Amino acid sequence: MIAYHFPPLAGSSGIQRTLRFVQHLPSMGWLPLVLSADARSYERTSDDLLPEVPASTVVRRAFALDTARHLQVAGRYLGWMARPDRWISWKFDAVRQGLQLIDEFKPDVIWSTYPIATAHVIASKLHHKTGIPWVADFRDPMAQESGDDDPSMRHTFPADPLTWQSYLGIEADAAAHAQYCVFTTPGAARIYQNRYPAAANRMVVLENGYDEESFASVVASPSIDSPSASGMRRLTLLHSGIVYPGERDPTQLFMALGQLSKSGTLRPDELCIRFRASVHDDQIRSLAQVHNVSDFIELCPAISYRDALAEMLAVDALLVMQSSGCNAQIPAKIYEYLRAGKPILGLTDPAGDTAGVLRQAELHDIARLNEVDEIALLLPVVVRAWRDGKAALPNASAVQAASRRERSKELVMLLRQTVGANANPIGRG
């Protein structure tokens, strides 16, 4: 399992996917071997999740540097030194150590996971050198393109054309040579089925999920909000995690909140919107000031994973934001939201995959993130329902299906298909 995101990396929910597979696969007959990066390449580290890596798991860390932090000169570095990403230096020692792992353990499958594209580069090298089947876990789309037929209006991600081309080359290589390409959303799988029709039957969906064991070990903290002057306790709506300026822009939410406040429909002593570990606190603070809603907004620093789960269990409701430009993506945090069993306000395109997850859980409080009027119409209604105890809660069957253990069972089925029904899953020797 070639994964850059692995403990002790901190600050990314993306770490959970590989970590939970590593936890659950042994009980299902598969022995995971982890090839990750040297911890020096991580911007932030924490020992918080290290105890959750099973003691029996083989973890090898290959030499890697972050080009932007370690190889810059006077604040600059050459573009090729960070293509396809800033951790391309990981490739060289990872291929060497990967071959050693293969020689030592003789694994049946090579599995690599994005969003660090270099992981797929490493996996491709190992696959071509050894012939071991490769499963490429894309999660989300890599080389993205949006806009109309006018090339001047077209937008790409990554924005740098050469990096975009390198992404395109990596995904084309995976489509041609990986046994399966795995995506976390139906929309992402459809994009790649259309882009690579010859490999369409090898594009599959394996969604993210939540870890039941982590939830079982935390207890919700009681609310500390005291009644306001009106005699009502202020409700807390939590957004837990990064607020990406382009994809999770709260501007229209704040505009709607400002309108509701000005009209007296909603007051700061009724509702607090808490942003936990947004990474962009300054931008949120500035937006709140511009729209005169600072009294509604609370900005809080990052906390440990388990403390973040405890907070989800303690608040009154949860907020997910996703722009229409990300209709083929689902925030990984949404599955933890489902498990928390709280009402969820979805500010997202009803046609997107994020809204699809909410509707599957029988949650229908959805408004478009970029539509002020829709948000202004919905927000007072859901606040009233939360206060009266009449809000819809996630459907129990949808919650159970989203557990990491259930997702691991799906992965096992895929691995069995990869190596063949009669193969010995614990190594070749």
pLDDT tens by residue, 351-396: 999 999 999 999 999 999 999 999 999 999 999 999 999 999 999 9
Q: Given the structure tokens 């939540």, which residue do they identify?
A: 210
Indicate if the pLDDT at residue 200 is higher than 90: yes
Residues 271, 166 share a domain: no
Q: Parallel, antiparallel, or unpaired for β 297-300 and 366-367?
A: unpaired
- Residue 411 forms part of a structural domain: yes
Secondary structure class of 378 (helix, strand, coil): helix
Q: What is the pLDDT of residue 154?
A: 56
The whole-chain average pLDDT of the chain stands at: 92
Indicate if the pLDDT at residue 118 is higher than 90: yes
We report the CATH number of the domain holding residue 42 as 3.40.50.2000
Q: Are 87 and 64 in contact (CB under 8 A)?
A: yes
Residues 374, 278 share a domain: yes
Ranges 188-202, 221-235, 401-415: which has the least confidence: 221-235
| Helix intervals (H) in 149-211 | 161-177, 186-195
Torsion over CA of 185, 190, 195 and 199, rounded to 10 degrees?
A: 90
- Residue 325 forms part of a structural domain: yes
Q: What is the pLDDT of residue 245?
A: 87
Q: Are 50 and 8 in contact (CB under 8 A)?
A: yes
Rounded alpha-carbon distances, angstroms, from residue 293 to 250, 273, 382: 12, 10, 18
Residues 180, 288 share a domain: no
- Residue 318 forms part of a structural domain: yes
Q: What is the pLDDT of residue 68?
A: 84
Rounded alpha-carbon distances, angstroms, from residue 304 to 15, 100, 301: 13, 35, 10
**Residue range 99-103: average pLDDT?**
98
Q: Are 194 and 171 in contact (CB under 8 A)?
A: no
Q: Are 238 and 319 in contact (CB under 8 A)?
A: yes
Write out pLDDT tens, residues 221-259: 655 554 555 567 899 999 999 998 888 999 999 999 999
- Residue 182 forms part of a structural domain: yes
Q: What is the pLDDT of residue 230?
A: 56
- Residue 429 forms part of a structural domain: no
Residues 394, 295 share a domain: yes
**% of the chain surpassing 90 pLDDT:** 79
105/121 Cα distance (integer angstroms): 21
Does 84 sit behind a cis peptide bond, omega within 30 degrees of 0 on the bond before it? yes
Q: Is 193 exposed, middle or buried (0-12, 13-18, 19+ CB in 10 A)?
A: middle
Residues 320, 413 share a domain: no
Residues 358, 311 share a domain: yes
Least Cα distance to 274 among 368, 345, 349 occurs for 345
Q: For helices 305-314 and 333-340, what crossing angle results, to 10°?
A: 50
pTM: 0.84
Residues 303, 413 share a domain: no
- Residue 168 forms part of a structural domain: yes
338/178 Cα distance (integer angstroms): 32
Least Cα distance to 63 among 47, 41, 43 occurs for 41
What is the gyration radius of the CA atoms in the chain, in angstroms? 22
364/391 Cα distance (integer angstroms): 10
Residues 71, 205 share a domain: yes
**Residue range 204-214: average pLDDT?**
94
Residues 347, 303 share a domain: yes
Neighbour count for residue 167 (Cβ, 10 Å) = 24
How many domains, in total, are found in the chain?
Answer: 2
**Residue range 262-278: average pLDDT?**
97
Q: What is the pLDDT of residue 421?
A: 40
**Structural domain containing residue 35:** 15-209+403-419
Residue 346 pairs in a beta bridge with 320, 366
> Predicted confidence band at 429 (pLDDT cuts at 50, 70, 90)?
very low
Residues 116, 165 share a domain: yes
Residues 247, 158 share a domain: no
Rounded alpha-carbon distances, angstroms, from residue 131 to 108, 158, 420: 10, 31, 15
Indicate if the pLDDT at residue 87 is higher than 80: yes
Least Cα distance to 204 among 137, 141, 121 occurs for 137
**Residue range 1-19: average pLDDT?**
91
Residues 63, 46 share a domain: yes
Residue 300 pairs in a beta bridge with 276
Q: Parallel, antiparallel, or unpaired for β 144-146 and 155-157?
A: antiparallel
- Residue 234 forms part of a structural domain: yes
408/404 Cα distance (integer angstroms): 6
- Residue 378 forms part of a structural domain: yes
Least Cα distance to 361 among 404, 395, 335, 397 occurs for 395
